[in-house]
């Protein structure tokens, strides 16, 4: 029997982080899983060291070695193709789970067969590497006011990271593989296609996923959302531009032309309001006698107003 959950982990020469990731998998209270590690152009010795140090059951782990790096999304697709579980998830090599995550996510999907997947709330863990030690320096919840993983929000930017999203294998039959034409933002595109097919829920209010970020790190220790922020911005813009071009090809330029002019006009109006208010405040700050006279005039016109306001 295939395992119920298949976990794909992409890595390259990061044994310290990979060890932590594998430990978080091994600590899950739900045990019916397999792991496929895609070693994307890294040294195999680094993967072997992490497997040994993590204490994970290696009989449940397979390793795919790519002689040269293929990129984030070709590596993800290679891992997905090598799995057999009913449910899938990408577990980045520098992130981690609470022990209850898989249990809660599988229980939810079993109870909601109409949903393609489920999303955990996310705790950002700010950290730094000091030698062979990883030191946390702060935490905050990602999007704490979000009501649900909504399509209207997802169109603005990616609302959940791969490690927080357990989904059915059948989702790939509907939306296809991860988009290999982009070096980044492939998860945003995939998640958006999922939300186009139907709504998603959060598991609950408590984050069960930890998104580890190192704002000062670069090179092999860096986070793509920080170190490759320019790539993210570029490909985000290119994706939107391509979608706009397709929309205009189908429906003509009328609505985009109207919206760009409308938004520009409203922004100018907002700027004018702010500019006028700032000028008024500056005038009042530099003319105390004027402010006192205005207050006296209001009292004379409405002598009971101050008492009612109090």
99-127 pLDDT per residue, tens? 999 999 999 999 999 999 999 999 999 99
pLDDT of res. 120: 98
Does 309 have pLDDT greater than 80? no
Mean pLDDT of 238-248: 94
Q: What is the distance between the alpha carbons of residues 34 and 88, in angstroms, rounded to a whole number?
A: 10
From the centroid of its chain, how far is CA 229? 13
Q: Which helix (H) or strand (E) holds 211?
A: strand 209-213
Instruction: At 182, list the tokens.
Output: 């982009």
pLDDT of res. 298: 78
CA-atom Rg of the chain in angstroms = 26
pLDDT of res. 156: 95
CB atoms within 10 A of CB 65: 13
Q: What is the distance between the alpha carbons of residues 262 and 259, in angstroms, rounded to a whole number?
A: 5
Q: Calculate helix-pair angle for 72-81, 186-197, nearest 10 degrees.
A: 50
Selection from 67-81, 218-232, 246-260, 283-297 with the highest mean pLDDT:
67-81
Residues 253-304: pLDDT tens digits? Answer: 999 999 999 999 999 999 999 999 888 888 777 777 777 777 777 787 777 6
CB 90 within 8 Å of CB 108: no
pLDDT of res. 303: 73
Query: Which residue carries 């040269």 as its tokens?
Result: 68
pLDDT of res. 157: 95
Q: Torsions phi, psi of 178, nearest 5? A: -65, 145
Q: What is the distance between the alpha carbons of residues 179 and 71, in angstroms, rounded to a whole number?
A: 11
pLDDT of res. 304: 67
Mean pLDDT of the chain: 92
Looking at per-residue pLDDT, the higher value among 305 and 257 belongs to: 257
Q: What is the distance between the alpha carbons of residues 257 and 117, in angstroms, rounded to a whole number?
A: 37
pLDDT of res. 310: 44
Does 223 have pLDDT greater than 50? yes
Mean pLDDT of 50-57: 97
Does 35 have pLDDT greater than 80? yes
Give the pLDDT band of residue 222 (cuts 50, 70, 90): confident
Looking at per-residue pLDDT, the higher value among 288 and 167 belongs to: 167
pLDDT of res. 306: 53
CB 141 within 8 Å of CB 207: yes
Mean pLDDT of 189-204: 97
């Amino acid at each position: 029997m295939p395992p119920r959950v298949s976990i794909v982990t992409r890595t390259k020469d990061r044994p310290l982080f990979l060890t932590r990731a594998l430990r978080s998998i091994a600590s899950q209270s739900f045990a019916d899983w397999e792991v496929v590690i895609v070693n994307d152009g890294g040294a195999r010795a680094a993967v072997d060291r992490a497997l040994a140090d993590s204490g994970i059951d290696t009989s449940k782990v397979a390793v795919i070695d790519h002689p040269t790096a293929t990129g984030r999304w070709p590596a993800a697709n290679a891992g997905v193709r090598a799995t057999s579980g009913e449910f899938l998830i990408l577990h980045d090599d520098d992130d981690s789970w609470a022990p209850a995550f898989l249990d809660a996510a599988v229980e939810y999907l079993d109870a909601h067969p109409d949903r393609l997947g489920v999303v955990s709330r996310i705790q950002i863990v700010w950290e730094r590497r000091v030698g062979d030690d990883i030191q946390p320096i702060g935490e905050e919840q990602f999007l704490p006011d979000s009501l649900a993983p909504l399509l209207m929000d997802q169109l603005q930017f990616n609302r959940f990271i791969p490690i927080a999203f357990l989904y059915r294998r059948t989702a790939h039959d509907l939306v296809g593989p991860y988009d290999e034409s982009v070096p980044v933002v492939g998860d945003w595109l995939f998640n958006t296609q999922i939300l186009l097919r139907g709504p998603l829920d959060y598991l609950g209010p408590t984050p069960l996923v930890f998104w580890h970020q190192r704002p000062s790190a670069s090179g092999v220790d860096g986070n793509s959302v920080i170190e490759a922020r320019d790539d993210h911005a570029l490909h985000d813009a290119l994706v939107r531009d391509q979608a706009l071009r397709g929309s205009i090809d189908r429906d003509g330029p009328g609505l985009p032309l109207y919206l760009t002019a409308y938004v520009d006009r409203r922004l100018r109006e907002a700027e004018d309001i702010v500019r006028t208010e700032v000028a008024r405040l500056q005038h009042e700050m530099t003319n105390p006698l004027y402010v006192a006279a205005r207050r006296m005039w209001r009292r004379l016109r409405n002598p009971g107003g101050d008492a009612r306001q109090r």
